[in-house]
Amino acid sequence: MVRIQIEKALPFSAEEMTSDFELIEQNENESVISAVAVRNEQLAEIAAPLLDKGIIPRQVTVYAAQRACTHAPQGRALLIYPEGETLVSAITENGKVSFTRALDGVAPEQLKMELPQLALSAELQGIKGSFPNVLLDETCFALRTTVEGIFATPTELVSIETPPAAVKLNLLPESWRRRREQLLKRGEWQKRLTLAGAAYGAILLLFLLYLGYSRFAIARLDRLIARDAPPTQFIRATEADWKTLAPAIDPGFYPVEILLHLNESLPSADVRITAYNQSARQISLDGEANTAALAYQFAEKVKKNPGLQSFRFDMAAPRILPNNHAQFRLEGKPK
């Protein structure tokens, strides 16, 4: 409703201006509000130095509202402060601006004429023209005696507050608000991309360091291998020679020992060894058993015999003879 009344009172469309309001007081029958409107084109001209640099403010408000919120949060007060080469007078109620006017001059005679007219104009708009508190900016100290003589009220000097007080009024145009949100999002994405780039660079640096260390370690191992190559080659050649001589000098490869262990593994007299062959690479034996089960039993006992653990034995499926005996062949290779 406030915005509708503002649009009716001003000769500009809703798209051309930005407005906001504050509640001064309220009872059961009526509400008193402080409404402020600004033309977007004029605001853009004032803020052009910031906008040209891509700096969009978070809040645009009335300076008098900030000073009133700090120095006169309760009751009614008159605030006079310089703005450029002119003076601004603002009437505030409970820290909210209810009436403002720019004074034409700063001469004492001019103030004696304009300040009473200000009080009269406020009375015509339903604002009491008496002010319990009169606040004068400290830079206007020379006007203190004049102001006190006009209102017959002690005048208090006030300084600029740092930081300014927080107020509700915000005249930031909607287009600025959207642009600010876009810039904030872009800033967040730039920050994320920067962090991602830094993380990627750190990972790449660690990878390069690891790669360099790996190459250094490989080169070191290559030097150690080259240094130990002659002893290693001698050990390998010696091992190959011992393996070659093993059938001749290892008792586990003696034919008599092998035959003894094979004979120990016979499950019964129903299993007979009919042929035995041995070379440096393997041994083989042919046999005959009364049943195929006895042949398999013999093969299992040979594999488990402690004296034959130097060999790995395999047996194909036995061949059944016409008399139902099983003919088998068992082959063993050194492990």
Do residues 6 and 113 both lie within one domain? yes
**pLDDT in the model for residue 31:** 84
Tally of domains within the chain: 3
- pLDDT computed for residue 10 by the predictor: 81
Q: What is the pLDDT of residues 276-306, one digit of tens each?
A: 998 877 899 999 999 999 999 999 999 999 9
* Same domain flag for 28 and 126: yes
Query: So what's the pLDDT on residue 192?
Result: 93
| pLDDT tens-place string over residues 1-37 | 888 888 788 888 878 888 888 888 888 888 888 888 8
Alpha carbons 55 and 303: distance in angstroms, whole number: 90
Which of 119, 147, 172 is the last residue in one of the domains? 172
111, 27: one domain = yes
User: Taking the CA atoms of the chain, what radius of gyration do you get in angstroms?
Assistant: 54
pLDDT at res. 75: 87
Q: What is the pLDDT of residue 294?
A: 93
pLDDT of residue 320: 92
**Which of 148, 172, 196 is the last residue in one of the domains?**
172
Q: Give the pLDDT confidence score for residue 68 in this predicted structure.
A: 85
My answer on whether omega of the bond before 163 falls inside 30° of 0, hence cis, is yes
Within 8 A by CB and 6+ apart from 57, the residues are: 47, 50, 172, 176
Out of 58-72, 193-207, 226-240, the most confident range is 193-207
CA 152 distance to own-chain centroid: 63
By percentage, how much of the chain surpasses pLDDT 90?
Answer: 29
Structural domain containing residue 280 = 252-334
Residue 221 sits in the same domain as residue 277: no
**pLDDT tops 80 at residue 223:** yes
The answer on 87 and 32 residing in a single domain is yes
The pLDDT score that the predictor gives to residue 3 is 81
126 and 34 in a single domain? The answer is yes
What pLDDT score does 247 carry?
Answer: 65
pTM of the entire structure?
A: 0.52
pLDDT tens for each residue of 95-112: 888 888 888 777 888 888
Q: Tell me the average pLDDT of the chain.
A: 87
Structural tokens at position 6:
């503002």
Q: At 154, is the pLDDT very low, low, confident or very high (cuts 50, 70, 90)? A: confident
Q: What is the CATH number of the domain that holds 289?
A: 3.30.1360.100
Same domain, 214 and 239: yes
Same domain, 323 and 232: no
pLDDT at 168: 86
Note whether 144 and 41 are same-domain residues: yes
pLDDT band at 197 (very low <50, low <70, confident <90, very high): very high
pLDDT of 248:
66
**Is pLDDT at 71 greater than 90 in this prediction?**
no
CA distances from 4 to 13, 20, 26, 176, 193 (A): 11, 11, 19, 22, 45
Shared-domain flag, residues 319 and 299: yes
Query: Which of 243, 265, 297 is the last residue before a domain boundary?
Result: 243
pLDDT of residue 201: 94
CA proximity to 100, closest of 71, 64, 131: 64
Q: Are residues 322 and 203 in the same domain?
A: no
Report the CATH number at residue 46. 3.30.420.40
Residues 144 and 196 in one domain: no
**H-type alpha helices, the chain:** 2-9, 40-46, 48-52, 63-71, 108-124, 144-151, 174-249, 255-264, 292-304
